[in-house]
Amino acid sequence: MNIVLFGPPGAGKGTQASLLVQRLDMFQISTGDLFRENIKNKTNLGLEAKGFLDNGALVPDSVTVSMVENVLVNFKSKKFILDGFPRNLNQANVLEQMLVKLNLKLGKAIFLKAPYNALMRRLTGRRVCKNCGAVFHVDFSPPKKAGICDKCGQATLYQRDDDKESVIGNRLKTYEESTLPLVEYYRKTGIYGEIDGTEDVEIVFEKIRQLIS
């Protein structure tokens, strides 16, 4: 069953998508990965996307949709997970038309919900080692000694600008304005499912598995 996995930043979409790939042999289509891959390979779409990203602007829907279509047009085997796409109603409508054209269909659109405070705690608690790149979290996976990396032993843990409260607040606001309307959109299609993303990772995975089995 092909699925859309959506929800706010920090709800656990990437974690669950990875588990679905490992355990159910699904194929993850992540717009973030597509951006990085196309930019690395210097495709026309990648160069176009890079121009917007370098200027701090959102990549236009037309570019994002074209990247996704380039993957789906050759898709013949595994069931796929759309992770991070669609992000708004326009993308959802275009996706529906694309799937009809390619003779594909969605089985479920699964929303991982989480309250604002939980999202802020998850997203602002991340700490990264400047020396080796190891990632920690002040609450969920803290280093043995505050500020010191367990892997390289250097006192180089810091909070990235992208993980600061003001930036996260803007990301969540953008999500509420553009992505949250997808809840009602998919409710009307009859394929909507909702799961509490704040529960234990294994519990969330099992609920997703039951929805798509």
Report the CATH number that the domain containing residue 93 is assigned in CATH. 3.40.50.300
Among 79, 108, 171, 187, the one annotated catalytic: 171
The confidence score (pLDDT) of residue 213 equals 86
Let me know if residue 130 belongs to a domain.
no
pTM of the predicted protein model: 0.86
Residue 180 in domain: yes
**182: amino acid identity, one letter:** L
Mean pLDDT to the nearest integer, 107-117 = 95
Residue labelled with tokens 């993308």: 91
Q: What is the pLDDT of residues 120-131, one digit of tens each?
A: 999 999 999 999
160 in catalytic set = yes
Residue 187, classified by CB atoms within 10 Å of its CB into exposed (0-12), middle (13-18) or buried (19+), is middle
Active-site residue, 50 included: no
Res. 74: pLDDT tops 90: no
In a domain? residue 144: no
Whether 158 maps to a domain, the answer reads: no
> Contact at 8 Å (CB) between 111 and 192?
yes
Within a domain: 155: no
Residue 23 annotated among the catalytic residues of the structure: no
Examine residue 191 and state whether it is found in any structural domain, yes or no.
Answer: yes
Asked whether residue 165 carries a pLDDT value surpassing 80, the answer given is yes
pLDDT band at 174 (very low <50, low <70, confident <90, very high): confident
Four-CA torsion 97, 98, 99, 102, nearest 10 degrees: 130
Catalytic-residue membership of 164: no
Choosing from 105, 151, 160, 164, the catalytic residue is 160
Q: Which residues pair with 4 in a beta bridge?
A: 82, 109
pLDDT for residue 210 = 96
34 falls within a domain: yes
138 part of a folded domain = no
Number of structural domains found in the chain: 1
Number of Cβ within a 10 Å radius of residue 210? 10
Q: What is the pLDDT of residue 77?
A: 72
Q: Which domain holds residue 200?
A: 3-115+166-212
Q: What percent of the chain has pLDDT above 90?
A: 79
Asked about 126 being catalytic, the answer comes back as yes
